[in-house]
Amino acid sequence: MAHTYLLFDFGTDEEKAQLARHKLEGWKQAFRLDKKLLYKLERAETEGKSVPEPAAKPAETHKAEKSKAKTKSKAKSAKAEPTDETPKEAAAADGKVNLLVRLYFSGHEKLTEQRWIERIPSEEPFKEASPRVVRQGEPQFDDVVKQFETLG
């Protein structure tokens, strides 16, 4: 049973990476590929990420002032929390986004594995992400395995 890794570089296009992630999740459920198809997103951190964080801190102090008011104000401040995540997502869009997909099929499923290796890079969100296939035994395979495991 060999692992095969598919590497996709989406550059700074977070939206395409999320679309690809959604498509993979749909395939996992539809074709019952629970442990056979695993993926992880890698976001390279940039200096631009630290810029929106100070902007979020004044909003937190503003929420603290609201919480001193009535309980209805507390409910409104709780609703305001998801809007603070938006700058963090925008900051993630500034960095590079890589998608690592691990295919893990048993020896008697060679044909199925080959079909998935051909299908995934040919689909729409994956085409433009410069797909790269790394199979077991290739020189960079160990590096890709370490990278996949460190993403947690």
HEC secondary structure over 95-115: CCEEEEEEEEECHHHHHHHHH
Provide the pLDDT for residue 152. Answer: 76
Provide the pLDDT for residue 2. Answer: 81
Q: Is the pLDDT of residue 32 over 60?
A: yes
Kind of pairing between the strands at 2-9 and 97-105 = antiparallel
**Full-model pTM:** 0.69
The overall average pLDDT reported for the chain is 78
Mean per-residue pLDDT for 30-47?
88
Provide the pLDDT for residue 100. Answer: 97
**Cα separation of 133 and 63, whole Å?**
48
Structure tokens at 31: 């074709």
Lookup result for tokens 């104000």: 73
pLDDT tens figures, 84-141: 444 445 444 468 999 999 999 999 999 999 999 999 999 999 999 999 999 999 999 9
**Cα separation of 7 and 96, whole Å?**
13
Segments of 10-120 assigned E as strands: 37-43, 97-105
Mean per-residue pLDDT for 44-72?
46
What share of the chain has pLDDT > 70, as a percent? 67
Provide the pLDDT for residue 86. Answer: 44
Provide the pLDDT for residue 136. Answer: 92
Provide the pLDDT for residue 140. Answer: 96
Provide the pLDDT for residue 85. Answer: 44
